[in-house]
Chain A
């Protein structure tokens, strides 16, 4: 009996092994994976999920040339939870998978910066759809590229805009992340240069009770309250400030660009001096090339694209194009990560849906667009119809 049982197990094991061998045999038919990392759960998932969806759509539509060359291209989505720890842990898993040749990733600079150290050490090309902190590229890594502008410009754009609205005094609040504090500091620097009096500069991780923080804000009655950080905090702060009787203008950054802001803030964003935000990603409709993208996105996901979805699409498109070039140079075989990394930088005048991209020597786009947008409706479904009040083309600082 014991013998029978042993042979039964042996058969099972053999079958399992055989299946595993078949499986890996099937996989070896030239599979390429492109990973994405963005917050798919939590406070910032509204935007994070749409970055992934944008990339997914691009993969579906633009993988043609690679498929013709005999490759199978897969998407490997990861959830960084807007948390540096999760981002780095995912990054380690991503680089340990040899089939991954590029990573489209990160919504938060605070997550991208540590995660890209991992990409850098293993030579994996990273195209960022949304990270604006200067440090993303100023470290000079060959692997790291972004298709959007930078906070040292965006903060200046915000401050200049404030002055153009006649602002004399400002109170600045930030969320203490690399991104939020970074842009708030650039805003402050520029504001002081051009004669805005900064009444206060405060960091907070608070998400609900801003009463104490608001006392000095409301007491100073500044012309503008600036928030460097994400919508889920900013909108609560703005709402409570209005409830405390603040009547001036609110100004925030591209982290504010999420329909959640309207969901939380509602009418308080429209009241008084109104709410404005600077961003590196206009509503999908401002780009000439995105009409088809919006239609396809709606057809596939049954919702309007959130900000940065189109950038997710373009980042994936750039990854695919670079892999294609590198594969051609490698006689149709799977290229090395190094070759892909170099191919990304070698792309000239790549025609995306949100612009034409050429990366400079540190991975910034040679010219980036900056927008200032005004919140027009308290209805979250109307978020994408917010009005662009200012558009600027600016090259990255040297």
Chain B
């Protein structure tokens, strides 16, 4: 027992937690600073007057009072993006190839988890479940989603990518896009044939829809209730656990060492007795497991899923991976949080700052402009290292 405890590498458990904390606080502080200074500047202008007229509150107060909620929302979606981004980044790290089918693997995870819960709901188990059992069912659904998505990721690698491994880099990329379309339509077909409908709704059970209330803030004519939805906490906790687990796997175990070796130099790794194919399959498995779990969490948070549900989260998670430096796991975490924060801040404040001219519908402009800026000025991403092209 003592030996087992001693064999746990505590640094590798604490380091990612430190990253999570630092990145969350950092991005939240930076975005808040920008929002608040903008508010201060705009407060004396016509924008402030307009808000005063409609909400009976100054722009500065409005911004401050809404800040905690916006940060919580940004963190929640940021962690979802980070969990998906890890799938992109792991595969890229090992194969230098962008697995565009990852967004559909995410969707499959979501569908398997939600279908399981719908089936349980139909038997009436969910409605009468105690709190402990409700969490057990949710964890069961997440596990099912993970297993299905992980198995699918490994299959896709075996069928669509491995035969192309010797080909030029464009070929597996196109294969990945093909797989992505194929999977979308397979989900649609299977769901239409079995349920007659391919938009599925997450059943309501347990206390996930409830909120923990911190307090009330008076603002102008109304009061703002400060609180966090229980499902947001679940999403954040689950994502952090996965991030820490993955970091531990890669940086503190023998398997992780093998993965890193394959990422560095596939040929030499195989000369050192590492089974490269097995390690690559394992990488896809891990990416798929994370994607599947993220899918179920996404469905839990946002209620409704359809076969195309993976597209936008996938695209944004990919952006996050590139932003952080693709191939770098810490970078994926940072990128996910930054994109999540940016989009939530933009969506929440843009309407007010522009007097309704640009509403939250334009929030994605920011995420993708940042991507373009990063690609221009720091092509290797925020945390990526500049590497010379391998021969």
Contacts and interface: CB of A to CB of B under 8 A. Distances in A.
Contacts of A45: 197
Given A41-B192, A264-B304, A202 B360 contact: yes
B55 A199 contact: yes
B366 to A, nearest CB: 11
Interface in A145-188: 176
A199 B54 contact: yes
Given A206-B361, A208-B298, A219-B66, 17 more contacts: A42-B199, A176-B361, A200-B54, A208-B302, A208-B303, A208-B304, A208-B309, A209-B302, A213-B347, A213-B359, A215-B73, A215-B349, A219-B65, A220-B55, A244-B69, A245-B225, A263-B201
Interface in A69-104: none
B343 A212 contact: yes
B385 to A, nearest CB: 33
Contacts of A215: 66, 69-70, 73, 347-349
Contacts of B201: 263-264
Contacts of B198: 41-42
A350 interface: no
Contacts of B344: 211-212
Interface string A18-58: 00000000000000000000000111011000000000000
A207 interface: yes
A223 B329 CA distance: 46
B38 to A, nearest CB: 15
A202 B223 CA distance: 22
A204 B66 contact: no
A211 B301 CA distance: 10
A270 interface: no
A232 interface: yes
Contacts of B227: 245
B222 interface: yes
Given A199-B55, A212-B73, A221-B222, A266 B204 contact: yes
A244 to B, nearest CB: 8
Closest 10 CB pairs of A and B: A212-B347, A221-B222, A215-B348, A208-B302, A211-B73, A245-B225, A202-B359, A213-B360, A212-B348, A212-B360
B363 interface: yes
Interface in B183-238: 192, 197-199, 201, 204, 209, 211, 213, 219, 221-225, 227, 229
Interface of B: 54-55, 62, 65-66, 69-70, 73, 76-77, 192, 197-199, 201, 204, 209, 211, 213, 219, 221-225, 227, 229, 298, 301-306, 309, 343-344, 346-349, 351-352, 356, 359-361, 363
A294 interface: no
Nearest to B301: A209
Contacts of B343: 212
B197 to A, nearest CB: 7
A211 B75 CA distance: 11
Contacts of B298: 208
Residue of A46, A201, A205, A245 with most chain B CB atoms under a 10 A cut-off: A245
Interface in A206-233: 206-209, 211-213, 215-216, 218-221, 232
Contact of B199 (A220, A232, A243, A268): A232
Given A208-B309, A213-B347, A236-B303, A243 B361 contact: no
16 contacts: A41-B192, A43-B199, A43-B306, A200-B54, A200-B351, A208-B298, A208-B304, A209-B301, A211-B76, A215-B347, A218-B69, A232-B199, A232-B304, A243-B211, A244-B69, A245-B211
Nearest to B305: A208
B219 A219 contact: yes
A87 B77 CA distance: 35
B224 A218 contact: yes
Nearest to A213: B360
B369 to A, nearest CB: 16
A202 to B, nearest CB: 4
A211 B341 CA distance: 12
Nearest to A267: B204
Contact of A219 (B62, B309, B347): B62
A203 interface: yes
A268 B211 CA distance: 14
A200 B356 contact: yes
Given A197-B54, A236-B304, A204 B222 contact: no
A201 B65 CA distance: 21
A203 B224 CA distance: 23
A239 interface: yes
A208 B224 CA distance: 23
Contacts of A218: 69, 224
A101 B306 CA distance: 36
B356 A212 contact: no
B343 to A, nearest CB: 7
B346 A212 contact: yes
Nearest to B231: A243
Residue of A42, A208, A264, A266 with most chain B CB atoms under a 10 A cut-off: A208
A331 to B, nearest CB: 46
A202 B55 contact: no
Contacts of A221: 221-224
Nearest to A49: B196
Nearest to B80: A209
Nearest to A222: B222
Given A221-B221, A243-B211, A216 B348 contact: yes
B302 A204 contact: no
Given A199-B55, A219-B224, A236 B347 contact: no
Interface string A245-279: 10000000000000000011011100000000000
Contacts of A243: 209, 211, 229
Contacts of A267: 204
A183 B54 CA distance: 22
Contacts of A46: 197
A176 B65 CA distance: 29
Contacts of B197: 45-46
A220 B220 CA distance: 9
Contacts of A42: 198-199
A180 to B, nearest CB: 13
B220 to A, nearest CB: 9
Contacts of A239: 303
A167 to B, nearest CB: 14
Contacts of B209: 243, 268
Given A209-B77, A245-B227, A216 B222 contact: no
A29 B361 CA distance: 55
Nearest to B227: A245
A268 B209 CA distance: 10
A39 to B, nearest CB: 12
A211 B347 contact: yes
Nearest to B57: A219
A43 B360 CA distance: 23
Contacts of A266: 204
A185 B209 CA distance: 32
Contacts of B347: 211-213, 215
Contacts of B306: 43, 207
B225 A212 contact: no
